[in-house]
Chains A and B, each alone.
Chain A
Amino acid sequence: QSALTQPASVSGSPGQSITISCTGTSSDVGGYNYVSWYQQHPGKAPKLMIYEVSNRPSGVSNRFSGSKSGNTASLTISGLQAEDEADYYCSSYTSSVTWVFGGGTKLTVL
């Protein structure tokens, strides 16, 4: 199975909004609403930020939102804050009953 495609890096200034894309196929992202997003700070375990495309777990800021169109899912962070600087990974369930991650996107808050 191939990794989902994410941009290697994105950046934005405090207060701005950014969007990270995650492109797969009809066998994963496009075929199921089982896309999730994870935030990882250096040296830490990943943290769930979005599940089932657009749902936020309890405790996650409403500045984080998710969406999907066709084979591409997106994570949008609005009102960027310094603490949002981290690596972000998307993940999808697949038709083969496996899970696949994106390559990761490094978010820099300028």
Chain B
Amino acid sequence: QLQLQESGPGLVKPSETLSLTCTVSGGSISSSGYYWGWIRQPPGKGLEWIANIYYSGRTYYNPSLKSRVTISADTSKNQFSLKVSSVTAADTAVYYCARVEDLGREIGYWGQGTLVTVSS
């Protein structure tokens, strides 16, 4: 059974860099046919797609966040990560990591989510 688990600081200061890691168990992030990605949800608001990384390593970003976001993968640890630089209060959200199916582009598996608050 595939499982995804987000980890990282729950509190980040304004202007600093938010860093999160997703640890995948029950499957390999190097397996063909999948993207691995991040989605966020500000409190009381809707979902926003942030970025995906293909199993080959190619990356894709939300144009509105692209200048501040980096997604990367560590296949030796079966993990992928997200960095968001120059954060503000608007980046406060629950951050989900997920697996996206290449065939239908749907998000088949989600992590439980982790709340990151940007505050001094």
Contact = CB atoms under 8 A, between A and B. Distances in A.
Contact of A45 (B37, B49, B52, B110): B110
Contacts of B111: 45
A36 B107 contact: yes
Contacts of A45: 96, 110-113
Interface in A51-96: 51-52, 55, 57, 89, 91, 93, 96
A14 interface: no
Contact of A46 (B47, B52, B62, B104): B47
Contacts of A3: 46
A98 B63 contact: yes
Specify the main secondary structure of chain B where it touches its partner. strand
Contact of B108 (A57, A93, A97, A99): A57
B52 A99 contact: yes
A101 B104 CA distance: 15
Interface residue tally on A, bucketed by range = 20 to 34
Contact of A101 (B49, B61, B63, B106): B49
A97 B62 CA distance: 9
B108 to A, nearest CB: 6
B100 A99 contact: yes
Nearest to A45: B110
Interface residues of B, number: 24
Given A89-B46, A99-B49, A48 B107 contact: yes
Contact of B63 (A36, A46, A93, A96): A96
A46 B113 CA distance: 10
B105 A36 contact: yes
A63 B108 CA distance: 19
Interface string B14-47: 0000000000000000000000010100000011
Contact of B49 (A32, A52, A100): A100
Contacts of B107: 36, 38, 46, 48, 91
Interface of A: 1, 3, 32, 34, 36, 38, 45-48, 51-52, 55, 57, 89, 91, 93, 96-104
Smallest CB-CB A-B distances: 6 pairs? A51-B106, A36-B106, A93-B105, A34-B105, A45-B110, A104-B46
